[in-house]
Amino acid sequence: MNKLAMIGAGAMGQAIAKGLVQAGLYKARDICFFARRIEILEGLKHQHGYDFATSLDELINNLEAGSSLMFAVKPQGIDQVLADMPELDPSILLISVLAGTKISKFQKRFPQNPIIRVMPNTPSQIMKGASGIAANSNCSEQNIKTVQAMFDAIGLAVVVEEKDLDVVTGLSGSGPAYVFLMIEAMAEAATKLGLNEEAAQALALQTVYGAASLAKISDKTPGELRVQVTSPNGTTAAGLDSLEKNGLKEIVFRAVAAAKARSEELG
């Protein structure tokens, strides 16, 4: 791959860079960051060997044709960034990881460039992310493969249409928080039933981690795994029956739908 320029050096940008280097897709010296705080850039160069630019002009002017430029700033700052940017070679692939920011915003400024919008999630910071990616009509199959390989390097990337990214936001973008809440609820339930808090939290966390890990490597669906561990009239069956009677699936549907609707509003 050619060089990668990164606008923004926050947690997500750094996580992506780390994954790309660990996967062997880029060498650290071929990733160039730009951010407003020079001390952050100097720290990244010292700790990891990334290159950095002290201005947008410097960042862009050093990009070769066919390189990639990733936007990893806060969504509220993108208008100023786009206004400050110089013109781009139309072969440069633009990648945005900004929540709620549509491809059209970038396409209005750079109508000839291939543009891909990505919805990653916070586990990307530990290389366990789940990302949806959507491309504009200027993108080639190779452009899409390039970005999918980038985000597979920090977890899993799935290609979708841009209209579906709001659902992706409600599912995997906001999903880690749903799982954290489930861990909290399981631990609190065990504590109320007499287990000490430390043991309850440790067991709840490991249970969710183990179940997800098993589902990830199994050739069975989550539904099949659920049936497999549910003995008729057993303890698991009693717990599942309570969850179903209390409408767990409907509760989760409403959560994903609410997050999707809010994503649409923000966009």
CATH topology of domain 4-162: Rossmann fold (3.40.50)
pLDDT score at 265: 86
| Phi, psi dihedral angles at 230 (to 5 degrees) | -110, 100
Distance CA 153, CA 147 (A): 10
Strands (E), 21-113: 31-34, 51-52, 68-71, 93-96
Chain centroid to Cα 181, Å, comes to 19
pLDDT score at 99: 85
**How many percent of the chain have pLDDT more than 90?**
88
The domain segmentation of the chain, as residue ranges, is 4-162, 173-266
Q: What's the CA angle centered on 19, arms 16 and 24, to 5 degrees?
A: 130
Tokens matching residue 69: 């430029």
pLDDT score at 1: 60
Res. 55 pLDDT band, cuts 50 70 90: very high
pLDDT score at 100: 83
Distance CA 78, CA 58 (A): 18
Q: For residue 92, give every residue at least 6 positions away whose Cβ sits within 8 Å of its Cβ, in sequence order, or none.
A: 63, 65, 66, 67, 68, 69, 113
pLDDT score at 266: 79
Q: For residue 96, give every residue at least 6 positions away whose Cβ sits within 8 Å of its Cβ, in sequence order, or none.
A: 70, 71, 103, 106, 115, 116, 117, 118
CA-wise closest residue to 109 among 181, 56, 154 = 56
| Phi, psi dihedral angles at 54 (to 5 degrees) | -95, 0
Res. 162 pLDDT band, cuts 50 70 90: very high
| Mean pLDDT score, 144-159 | 95
| Mean pLDDT score, 53-73 | 93
Distance CA 93, CA 146 (A): 10
One-letter amino acid for residue 24 of the chain: G
pLDDT score at 228: 96
| Mean pLDDT score, 46-69 | 94
Q: What is the pLDDT of residues 200-224, one digit of tens each?
A: 999 999 999 999 999 999 999 999 9
Domain 173-266 has CATH 1.10.3730.10: yes
Comparing 17-26, 130-139, 231-240, the range with the smallest average pLDDT is: 17-26
Residue 192 has pLDDT above 80, yes or no: yes
Contact criterion met (CB below 8 Å) for 5 and 69 = yes
Chain centroid to Cα 251, Å, comes to 24
Res. 240 pLDDT band, cuts 50 70 90: very high
